[in-house]
Structure 1
Amino acid sequence: MRCFALIWLFLLTGTTAQASAPLIVDNATRVISDLQPHVSYFRDQERQLLPDQVMEQPSLFQPASQREGLNFSYTRDRLWLKATVTSTADRRTDWILEMRYPSLDRVTLYNVGADGTVIQHQGDTLPYQQRDMKHRNPIFKLYLEPGESRTLFVAAHSEGSLTLDAQLWQAEHFYENSQASYAILATYFGMLLALAIYNLLLFAVLRERSFVLYVCFVVAFGAGVAAINGLGAQFIWPNLGEHGNRILPFSLSLSAAVGVLFARSFLDTARRTPLLDSFLAIFAWMAMLATLTTLIIPIQPALQLMSVTGLLTTLVLFTAGMICVVKGIPGARIFVIAWLMLLVGGMLLGLRNFGLIPSNFVTVNAMQIGSAVEMLLLSLGLAARFNELKRLKEQAQLQALSAQKQVVQSLVHQERILALRVAERTEALAEANKRLELLAMQDPLTGLGNRSALGRHLPQAMQRTARRGELLALVLIDLDGFKAINDELGHDVGDQVLVGIASRLSGCARQTDLVARLGGDEFILISEGIADQEDALQQGQRLLDVMSMPLELEGVSVSVGASVGISLSNGVEPDIETLMRQADQAMYQRKRSGRHGVVLHTASPPEKIKA
């Protein structure tokens, strides 16, 4: 009986091992898109087995041809794939094994041949520079000599959907196809960027809330799609590692919440359907709560919550749009068609993530295809709404003109209207002059005061200081190493640094202080009510500490030092010219001493004027 059992086990093992046919390639093979008939798989549920233990036990593997696909949905298992590749080519051939789903956390290839085992690591939680091959998808290089056979073991685990569909390419054909795929993605994200900029400009002109909500929706959704396609981990957050996994559920859940707010504004539900508006408001809060929840719960439940939130949001908004179509609300039809496109795409992607439908080009890219059509339609809907607003405005202008013509019939009314218009225009002219005067006193980049503002403020501050018997501090600030920032990171980043420094200086200043930009990277602070030299030094040090904190600009952390020179006046002496010169001397003394510090000009410190 024991012998019979051993023979039966041997037969079972042999059947399993022979179930997956070897993969034969030659010179003419361009790509093998369906590897499933040639692949066996093994689920390491405990994730305890070492690679050598797995590779030395072929009986662990089952033929993948018995499955409907290689999508294992959300699982904590470590999945192993095994395939044997044999070359019948008459020369050495180079191959690329491509995993077609970019959002895999870690994928390792053990390439076993007569020369030993070659190990390659990939995955979107691996810092981009540490990947063995640089690409948005997990890819692996494979060399085959004529007649050579190699056994490939792929080990993968992921907090997201564990989709292990793979293709085997001849290297040159892979790179051709890769360029085409990058071009398609570039077109998609270029479209998103163009739509976002276009609607942002419309918001700047019309101040309509719908446009800015649309822009926020596009940006949040675009970040999620970048995470799905691996472009985020390649270009935007290449070094976040496992923390980058949070971006996908957070951004797509956020886009769901913003999408509900956009629907309320676009359909004007608050005025036209108050009951539906109340429901959408509650749902928006729930979507926002789900968004925040994705930041604190484990990644896998966060991704599942994202899928559920996205599907529910699309269904809710589609239903809300249908209700608005029935009520005859303008723009509702195009809104329904747009969300129907996203609903189809989102449902296909969600069902694929849960392993309920096969993984292929359509299901993997369903969200992108549906979202592209949806965003174009919504943008067209916003444009139609813009035209409607323009028509209503013209209609209102015509009505106003008709009313004016009736009023003109009466001479008394005409005189009153004329007097009213003169008064309004006078007031508008006065306001315009005030705005021009204010603009003349402002630095256009930072919004701080300029030299003109300094020239007006400083004499008045000197008079107040003398009258109150106090001290006034003139703080001159010059950024260290700013030219290097412009040279290395560009003038746009340099301008952002100046704006950030200006904001920090304004935040540290009191309401009675004046913060101004003299030009370039030079700033000045006029501070009244200074107690003594120590008080002035402490204020300068506080400014220096605040400016020294790193600035986070578009994924780049920039630290800026500063040389600070301070001079004091009692309002009478030294005079303004001397006060400026002393601060300048103190500042350059700091630069000559090694930069990044505070120096107080101490020659003949002024005394307070006694009342």
Structure 2
Amino acid sequence: MPAKRYAHPARAASLPRLLLVCCLLLASQLCLAATRLDDASAPQDLYGLVDFLADPQGTLSLDDVRAADAPFQSSRSRRDLSFGYVPGVIWLRLELQSDAQQTRVWRLELNYASLDEVRLYDIGADDVRQSRSGDTVPYAERAVGHRNPVFEISLQPGEQRTLYLRVDSRGSMTLSGALMSLRDFEQHSQNGYLVHAIYFGVLVALGLYNLLLFLALRERPFLNYVLFMCAFALSVLSLNGLGAQYLWSDAAPWSNRMLPVSLTSAALLSVIFARSFLDTRQWLPRWDRVLQVLCGATLLAVLATLLLPVQTALQTMSLTGLIVTLTLLLTSFVCVGYRVPGARLFALAWLMLLTGAVLLALRNFALIPSNFLTLYAMQIGSGLEMILLSFALAARFNELKRQREAALQLNEQILAKRVTERTLALEQANQRLRELALQDPLTGLANRTALQQHLEQALARSLRRNELLAVMLIDLDGFKPVNDRHGHGFGDLVLAEIAERLRQYVRDIDLPARLGGDEFVVVCENVQSAEDAQDLAKRLLEGLDTPMYLEDRAVRVGASIGIALSRGSDDATTLIRLADAAMYRAKAAGRNRVQLDAAHP
């Protein structure tokens, strides 16, 4: 009995361990379960099929990763197969089992062309088959001639093979891909090349069109646009692997650095294009200085992408692209507020590119999943941007053309106005010559003869227009004592100062004149009322009553002003006589005041 009592707890304690071992064995079998392929198998996404192993130091060999204790993990433990910028090497493992009735050829494709080197170890009963691909591998040495890393897998009926992919890249470790039959791959590949052909066909058409516009119009923004488009096209060619396939197929090491150099150069040229397109030097001088600094910083970034390690260069590229795109987008929004021609379409275009650049950068840093939209976000955004920028250039050109035509019309109007003004100036000069003969030599005011002529003409105008005209006769108060005390020379200075003050305080349409001695006359046309005339006279009186400082001496003289009003029915002599009579009444009333003729209308 005691033995049975102690044996039962022992069996109970071993049961959890047994269950744990079974679970581990079952999980191991699930992880190593082969992907079964038959004659009708559809394309298989690698996510969920492959296991992965991170090798940060890049020191593991094939034998190391084939060992039973190699710490592979199921890809389903991750969101996707985008690892971002990570050091070292990533290994992928895939077990395949053929259920086909005959030998079938399959294609395994990683759909990110910027992977540096991908080695495939295809292990089966016939030992190990090795092949490699990637953008640092010369095109002629790739396992399958394609813009992306593609490998051929041949499976006989019932055959089981294990695939190990060793991926080494200084760029983003985007390892998404698919396994598909040869027929499906050919259809998939043709569709992909067709899409890229349409994309680049649009770029080439837009580039040639705007180049012809530049040659015809000699407008600098068109050339800057073409240069920006060429640099950006090179970056897209590098990004999707077409450059390594068609342009620099033998320059494999350069192919690895072409993407950061070309894309950062495109960022630099985009700033140059934006400055010329938005004409920030004229519209936004302060923003233009910021863009100049940005040009210098972006140029340094271009040099950095040539010298820094590739992974750092790619990160510099992503950061520079985001900063430039955000800055230009903000600049375009400010230009929209200032109504800069073409700024609205420019802002919309850069918003499209920013969306694509942000999605690409976030995918490169493994912050968002890798899928068709994020993988081709830059191409989609840039395609829309290039089209919108072309429309913006056309809209800007039309607006500038309209502005030039308006400016031409304005210049013609200004020219006609200047001709009229010069003709008038010539007439005025001739008139001035005539006036010089009618000036008082001491004060420069009109003399008695000029006063008589002007007053007769003013009366005729007042009669014709039925306007009120005022004649103000001004006689200085206290001038004789100044003249007697300081001499006639000083008295002449006082009279000249009085004349200057008359010019200062009368209206532009009024005529000041000197009758003789210390008597002056002001003829005021277009006077609204008797009160208006009195207000004008009081302003003159206040100005004349201000102390004068001449030859270090301060003197002060007042004045008595008489006003005569007429609507043109009186003659000049009568008006002066009536104003003179009103002036004497002002003196009799106490001097230094204004007196209106009692018989005014």
Q: Which residue among 15, 39, 57 is the counterpart of 1:27?
A: 39
| Contact residue 341 and residue 400 of structure 2 kept, 8 A | no
Determine which of 303, 323, 326 is the counterpart of 2:337. 326
Residue from 5, 12, 15 that aligns with 2:27: 15
Alignment correspondent of 1:208: 219
After superposition, what is the alpha-carbon deviation per residue over 1:15-70, rounded to whole angstroms, capped at 9, x for unaligned?
345335421221111311x2221211111122112112212335421111100011
Task: Give the aligned residue type for 1:28.
Answer: A
Partner of 2:237: 226
Question: Any conservation in 1 of the 2:261–2:305 contact (CA below 8 Å)?
Answer: yes
Which residue is equivalent to 2:113? Answer: 102
**Hey, what does 2:592 align to over in structure 1?**
none
Structure 2 counterpart of 1:73, which letter? G
CA-to-partner distance for each residue in 1:331-361, whole Å, 9 max, x for gaps?
A: 1111111000001000000000000001011
> What residue in structure 2 maps to residue 247 of structure 1?
258
- Which of these residues, 47, 62, 73, is aligned with residue 62 of structure 1? 73
For 1:160, which of 165, 168, 171 is the aligned residue?
A: 171
Aligned twin of 1:76: 87
Give the counterpart of 1:301 among 312, 328, 331. Answer: 312
Question: Are the structure 2 counterparts of residues 9 and 235 from structure 1 closer, same or farther at C-alpha, using a change threshold of 3 Å?
Answer: farther
Determine whether 1:197 maps to 2:208: yes
Alignment partner, residue 137 of structure 2: 126
Task: Assess, with a 3 A threshold, how the Cα gap between structure 1 residues 409 and 286 changes in structure 2: closer, same or farther.
Answer: closer
1:401/1:269 CA distance change after superposition, 3 Å: closer
- Would you say the 8 A contact 1:23–1:86 is kept in 2? yes
Contact 1:160 1:303 in 2 (8 A): yes
Alignment of 1:153-192 (within 5 A): 153-192=164-203
For residues 10 and 282 of structure 1, do their structure 2 counterparts lie closer, same or farther at Cα, with a shift above 3 Å needed? farther
| CA separation of 1:26 and 1:327: change in aligned 2, threshold 3 A | same
**Contact 1:20–1:65 (CA under 8 A) maintained in structure 2:** no
Counterpart amino acid of residue 305 in structure 1: T
Tell me the SS of whatever aligns to 1:42.
strand
Indicate the RMSD between aligned Cα atoms, in angstroms.
2.7
Q: Could you tell me how far apart the structure 2 residues matched to 1:97 and 1:303 are? A: 26
Give me the whole-angstrom Cα distance separating, in 2, the residues matched to 1:107 and 1:321: 42
Please, which of 306, 311, 315 is the counterpart of residue 326 of structure 2?
A: 315
Q: How does 1:467-486 map to 2 (within 5 A)?
A: none
1:354 corresponds to 2:347: no
Give the deviation of 1:401 after TM superposition.
Answer: 5.8
Residue equivalent to 2:540: none
Does the residue aligned with 1:73 lie in a helix, a strand or coil?
A: coil
Q: Is the alpha carbon distance of 1:6 and 1:109 closer, same or farther for their aligned partners in structure 2, counting shifts above 3 Å?
A: farther
* Structure 1: runs of 5+ lacking an equivalent: 413-611
Provide the rounded CA distance (Å) in 2 between the counterparts of 1:297 and 1:6: 55
Q: Name the residue aligned to 2:398.
A: 387
| Percent of paired sites with the same residue | 45
8 Å CA contact 1:71–1:164 kept in 2: the answer is yes
Residue 139 (structure 1) aligned with residue 150 (structure 2) = yes
Cα deviation digits, residues 174-215 of structure 1 (max 9, x gap): 112211111111111111111111111111122222111111
Question: Match of 1:186, as an amino acid?
Answer: A
Q: Distance in 2 between matches of 1:127 and 1:301?
A: 23
Structure 1 residue 368: Cα displacement: 0.3
Counterpart CA distance in 1 for 2:83 and 2:29 is 21
Counterpart of 1:37 in 2: which secondary structure? Answer: coil
Q: Is 1:338 equivalent to 2:373 in the alignment?
A: no
1:91 corresponding residue in structure 2: 102
2:560 alignment counterpart? none
Give the letter aligned to residue 178 of structure 1: S
Alignment-mate amino acid for residue 58 of structure 2: R
CA deviations 1:447-483 (Å, max 9, x no partner) are xxxxxxxxxxxxxxxxxxxxxxxxxxxxxxxxxxxxx
1:292 to 298, 303, 308: 303
Q: Secondary structure at the match of 1:312?
A: helix
Q: Could you tell me the TM-score, scaled by structure 1's length?
A: 0.64
Looking at structure 2, the residues matched to 92 and 202 of structure 1 have their Cα atoms a distance apart, in angstroms, of 58
CA distance in 2, matches of 1:60, 1:112: 19
Secondary structure of 2:327's counterpart equals helix
Alignment check: 8 A CA contact 2:221 2:273 kept: yes
- 1:446 alignment counterpart: none
Aligned pairs, how many? 411
Q: How does 1:453-468 map to 2 (within 5 A)?
A: none
* Deviation at residue 400 of structure 1 after TM alignment: 5.6
* 3-state secondary structure, aligned to 1:161: coil
CA contact (8 A) 2:51 2:93 kept: yes
Q: Deviations over 1:336-391 (max 9, x none)?
A: 11000001000000000000001011001000000000011011000111112222
Q: Is the 8 A contact 2:170 2:311 kept in 1?
A: yes
Residue number in structure 2 paired with 1:38: 49
Output the CA distance in 2 between the equivalents of 1:242 and 1:266: 36
Question: In the TM superposition, what is the alpha-carbon distance from 1:166 to its structure 2 partner?
Answer: 1.5
Within the alignment, does 1:52 sit opposite 2:63 as a pair? yes
Q: Report the residue type matching 2:225 in the other structure.
A: Y
Are the equivalent residues in 2 in contact too, given 1:46–1:77 (CA < 8 A)?
yes
The 3 A distance-change label for structure 1 pair 270 and 402 is: closer
| Cross-structure match for 1:511 | none
Report the equivalent of 2:283.
272
Distance in 1, matches of 2:21 and 2:294, equals 57
Q: 1:273 and 1:50 mapped to 2: Cα distance?
A: 60
Deviation at 1:309, TM superposition (A): 0.5
1:161: how far off? 0.4
Which residue of the other structure, out of 385, 388, 400, is the alignment partner of 1:374?
385
**Aligned mates of 2:304, 2:76 — CA distance in 1:** 39
- Per the TM alignment, residue 243 of structure 1 is displaced from its structure 2 partner at its CA by 2.3
d(CA) in 1 for partners of 2:250 and 2:75?
34
Structure 1 position 301, deviation (Å): 0.2
Answer yes or no: is the 8 Å Cα contact 2:341–2:395 preserved in 1: no
CA distance 1:16–1:394, shift in 2 (3 Å): same
Correspondence 1:559-570 to 2 at 5 A: none
Paired AA for residue 40 in structure 2:
A
Paired with 2:404 and 2:336, the residues of 1 have a C-alpha distance of 24
Q: Post-superposition shift, 1:396?
A: 4.1
Letter paired with 2:288: D
**Contact preservation (8 Å) 1:16, 1:61:** no
3-state secondary structure, aligned to 2:80:
coil
Distance in 1, matches of 2:21 and 2:261, equals 49
For 1:273-308, what per-residue CA distance to the aligned partner results, in whole angstroms no more than 9, with x for missing partners?
111111111111111111111111110000000000
**Partner Cα distance (1:79, 1:13) in 2:** 25
C-alpha distance in structure 2 between counterparts of 1:295 and 1:236, whole Å: 19
The residue type paired with residue 24 of structure 1 is R
The answer to whether the 8 A contact 1:227-1:247 is kept is yes
Q: Structure 2: how far apart are the matches of 1:300 and 1:112?
A: 31
- What displacement does 1:407 show? 9.6
Higher mean displacement: 241-250 or 228-237: 241-250
**Counterpart of 2:43 in structure 1: which amino acid?**
V
Give the conservation status (yes or no) of the 8 Å contact 2:34–2:97.
yes
**Deviations for 1:414-453, whole angstroms, at most 9, x for unmatched residues?**
xxxxxxxxxxxxxxxxxxxxxxxxxxxxxxxxxxxxxxxx
Once residues 26 and 129 of structure 2 are traced to their aligned partners in structure 1, the CA distance between those partners, rounded to angstroms, is: 27
> Unaligned regions of 5+ residues in structure 2, if any?
1-13, 424-601
The amino acid across from 1:19 in the alignment is C
